[in-house]
Structure 1
Amino acid sequence: MVDRTYGVSQTTSSQSVDAHKVLRNTYMLLAMTLLFSAVTAGAAMAMGVAQMNVFIFLIGAYGLMFLVHKTANSAMGLLATFAFTGFMGFTLGPILSAYLTLSNGPQLIMTALGMTAATFVGLSAVALITRKDFSFLANFIMAGAIVLVVAMVVAMIFNISGLALAVSAGFVLFSSALILYETSQIIHGGQTNYILATISLYVAIYNLFISLLSLLGMAGDD
């Protein structure tokens, strides 16, 4: 009689090792891209770059993101990843410069940064410790992304402060769901490409930080 249990055990162990490798590579690349974004944001601030037009930003961001997805299975994927995250950091520079002109600007930035870090660590820990499958969030994330992008553009064009507040709050929920979903995908073998995993988590962290900073600024009438 053939012992099938041993074969199942080997397969499970192999999947666990692969998931651990993807998770490790993702966190390493994520740390490097966040550091690179901080450098490009600092460069933009030092150069006094003006805030980018929203349509140019969307074209650049989604164009580079498309490039990352097209090259994710090659060495070019790493270059595309740093190009995308560098661009996002560069566009963040003017926003941070604007906040630094406020009397409590540095405090707002540090508070948003701390809240972002705490949220990311907390949600990642939930997914890693409980090992719960959060794949059911996929449809919510897809629909939420479309709704939020449209609402963001409308709020900027027509300068609707109430809608801008709702969009910021929506992005906080969206980003939190994306962190849970992507981490769960890595753990359960649904995501095996660390470049794509890095981009997803980076976008979640970026949107979370910007949204929290916006909410804190609105709370302080800034």
Structure 2
Amino acid sequence: MEELQTPVLEPKVAALTSEARITFYRKTYTHLTLSVLLFILVEMIFFQIEPLINFALSLTQGWTWLLLLGGFMFATNYAEKMALETQDKNRQYLALLLFVVAEAFIFIPLLYIAISYIGDGGLHTISQAGIMTGALFVGLSAVTIMTKKDFSFLRSGLTIAGFIAIGLIVAGTLFGFNLGLWFSVGMIALASGSILYQTSNMVHKYQEDQYVAASLGLFGALMLLFWYILSIFSRD
């Protein structure tokens, strides 16, 4: 009788040698850096297309904003699932590209407000928000990697908090009330927890060849943090 061969699974990153782990981290953060640079490039291209800007701005009112958020959430979930479940590198890169472009589109209204209504200090405000976002991201990531703590227990809390946030956004959109400064502060805390969770996943969940999927998760958490820090910085 032929013996059934059990498929060999790639080891988790935490089980790799120090050299292999460093290589994985380098690939992941290289892809994350390239994703941020691609986001900036795509955003610059988008801002050269006036009809696209007008279209994005037109989606920020009433139920159309909810449709945009719904479409963005669908694109996010589809991209993460595609990157995580497929072994095809081309599909993983396609998922990452899809996610970056979706992020760039949904950021158009917020960046437009920062640039147009803050005046000459708009770009400076965006730069300040970017620096603070990067510093907080690096700090949270360093804590997770250096301590090797498993933050997977945050998943339930982040999921519940995410649904509460979506509910508040829907209510604010439908009933026309401003969620205010403290909502943005709460979302920064949520994004920080997401960074801890995604960085922990990079170490304890992903396999050696899944650095593209790991970078996609980190990119999503990073951009969520940037959104709400910039939202606070853009307030009058």
Question: Which position in structure 2 is the counterpart of 1:63?
Answer: 74
Shift of 1:17: 5.3
Please name the residue that 1:5 is paired with.
Answer: none
Segments of 4+ moved more than 4 angstroms: 15-19
Extract unaligned runs of 5+ from structure 1. Answer: 1-10
Distance 1:152 1:165, change over 3 A: farther
Q: Deviations over 1:113-168 (max 9, x none)?
A: 1110110111111112222222221221111111112212222333322x243331
- For residues 230 and 29 of structure 2, what CA distance do their matches in structure 1 show? 24
**Alpha-carbon offset, residue 173 of structure 1:** 0.6
Match of 2:197 among 181, 188, 203: 181
**Which protein has greater RCO, CA pairs closer than 8 Å, 6+ apart?**
2
Identify if the C-alpha distance between structure 1 residues 185 and 17 changes in structure 2 by more than 3 Å, giving closer, same or farther.
Answer: farther
Match of 2:46 in 1: 44
Counterpart pick for 2:184 among 156, 168, 172: 168
Whole-Å separation in 2 of the counterparts to 1:195 and 1:150 = 31
- Partner AA of 1:154 in structure 2: A
Q: 8 Å contact 2:152–2:200 — kept in the other structure?
A: yes
* CA–CA distance in structure 2, aligned partners of residues 66 and 135 of structure 1: 18
Partner SS state of residue 132, structure 1: coil
> Paired residue for 1:14?
16
| SS class of match (1:46) | coil
| TM-score of the pair, normalised by structure 2 | 0.78
Count of matched residue positions in the alignment of Structure 1 and Structure 2: 207
Structure 1 match to 2:164: 147
Residue identity in the other structure for 2:108? G
> What is the 5 A alignment of 1:9-158?
14=16, 16=18, 19-48=21-50, 49-50=53-54, 51=57, 52=59, 53-72=64-83, 73=86, 74=88, 75-101=90-116, 102-103=118-119, 104-158=121-175
The verdict on how the C-alpha distance between 1:56 and 1:119 changes in structure 2, with shifts beyond 3 A counting, is: same
C-alpha deviation, 1:16, in angstroms: 5.0
State the superposition RMSD in angstroms: 2.3
For 1:30, the aligned partner's letter is L
8 Å contact kept, 1:148–1:170: no
Cα shift at 1:79: 0.6
Structure 2: give runs of 5+ residues left out of the alignment.
Answer: 1-12
Matched-pair identity in %: 28
